[in-house]
A and B are shown apart, each in its own frame.
Chain A
Amino acid sequence: LAKTTQPISMDSYEGQEVNITCSHNNIATNDYITWYQQFPSQGPRFIIQGYKTKVTNEVASLFIPADRKSSTLSLPRVSLSDTAVYYCLVDGRNTGFQKLVFGTGTRLLVSP
C-alpha cells in the first residue's frame, strides 16, 4: 500500500491560489490519487481524483506528473471557508486492497 507524504500545515490569504503537493513514491500501476477535505467535527469530503496528467472540477485542479510519484492539489482563489485539513490518498482498492488509508493530512489556514 503506497504511503503518502504531504506538508503538515500551510498558511494562505484570501484570494490566493494554494498548491498542496503530495509524494507517493511507491504508487502502483493501477492506483488512483484522491484528495479529501475535512472540516472540524465532520467527516471528510471528496474533492477530486485522478490517474495521470491534469484533472479539473468546479472546486480544484489536480496535477499528476508522468512518473505519478507525486501530485499537486491546486485550490484557486481560496476563501476563509477553505480552512480545513486536506488529505492525499492513494486508492489501491482496484488492486485488491479493500482499504483507503488516510495519512496525517495538510492543515490549511486561510487568513483575511
Chain B
Amino acid sequence: EADIYQTPRYLVIGTGKKITLECSQTMGHDKMYWYQQDPGMELHLIHYSYGVNSTEKGDLSSESTVSRIRTEHFPLTLESARPSHTSQYLCASSEGNNEKLFFGSGTQLSVL
C-alpha cells in the first residue's frame, strides 16, 4: 500500500563513520518525517519537512541532519556515528494536515 522506501534495511558500522539513511516516497507528499525508536520504546520525532528546502528539528535532540532538495527524497545523515546512535530510524510522509502518515519499513542501525 505505502510507496515509501528506506534503505538500507539493516546497517552495522564502526564508530566515527559517516552514514546516510535514504528515504524516498513516490506519492508526491509534501510532508516528511524522521522518527527514532529504541526497542520496545516510543517513537521520537527527530526531523520533519513541510516541503522542498524546508526542514525542522523535532522533539528529540539529534546529532543527525537532513535535507530536502527534492519532494520525493528526505535523507538523514550522521557525520560521525557513535554507539549511542544505535536505534531504529523510521521515515514517514503525509499528504497534508490531518492526513495519515505512511511509514517505511525502517533502518535498523547498529554502531559498534
Residues of chain A touching chain B, judged by Cβ–Cβ distance below 8 Å, are 32, 34, 36, 41-46, 49, 87, 91, 93-94, 98-105
Taking CB atoms and an 8 Å cut-off, the chain B residues in 32-54 that contact chain A are 33, 35, 41-45, 48, 50
| CB atoms of A100 and B106 under 8 A apart | no
Instruction: Please encode chain B, from 92 to 109, with 1 for each CB lying within 8 Å of some chain A CB and 0 for all others.
Output: 100001101111111010
Taking CB atoms and an 8 Å cut-off, the chain B residues in 11-65 that contact chain A are 31, 33, 35, 41-45, 48, 50, 56, 58-59
| CB atoms of A99 and B45 under 8 A apart | yes
Task: Check if B81 is an interface residue, CB within 8 A of chain A.
Answer: no
Task: Please pick, from A41, A46, A105, the residue contacting B108 in the complex, using a CB distance under 8 A.
Answer: A41
Task: Please pick, from B33, B41, B91, B103, the residue contacting A45 in the complex, using a CB distance under 8 A.
Answer: B103
| CB atoms of B31 and A98 under 8 A apart | yes
| CB atoms of A44 and B101 under 8 A apart | yes
Contacts of B97 in A (CB 8 A): 93-94
Residues of chain B touching chain A, judged by Cβ–Cβ distance below 8 Å, are 31, 33, 35, 41-45, 48, 50, 56, 58-59, 88, 90-92, 97-98, 100-106, 108
Task: Please pick, from A36, A41, A45, A105, the residue contacting B106 in the complex, using a CB distance under 8 A.
Answer: A41
With known contacts A42-B105, A99-B59, A94–B42 Cβ distance under 8 A? no
With known contacts A98-B48, A100-B33, A101-B45, A43–B105 Cβ distance under 8 A? yes
Q: Binding site of A, secondary structure by majority: helix, strand, loop or mixed?
A: loop
- Report the bound CA distance from A36 to B42 in whole Å: 12
| CB atoms of B50 and A98 under 8 A apart | yes
| CB atoms of B104 and A43 under 8 A apart | yes
A45: nearest residue on chain B (CB-CB)?
Answer: B103
- 5 A-B pairs in the complex with CB atoms less than 8 angstroms apart: A44-B43, A46-B102, A94-B98, A102-B35, A102-B42
Contacts of B92 in A (CB 8 A): 43
- Report the bound CA distance from A100 to B90 in whole Å: 13
B54: nearest residue on chain A (CB-CB)?
Answer: A98
Task: Please pick, from B35, B48, B98, the residue contacting A32 in the complex, using a CB distance under 8 A.
Answer: B98
- Report the bound CA distance from A74 to B33 in whole Å: 28
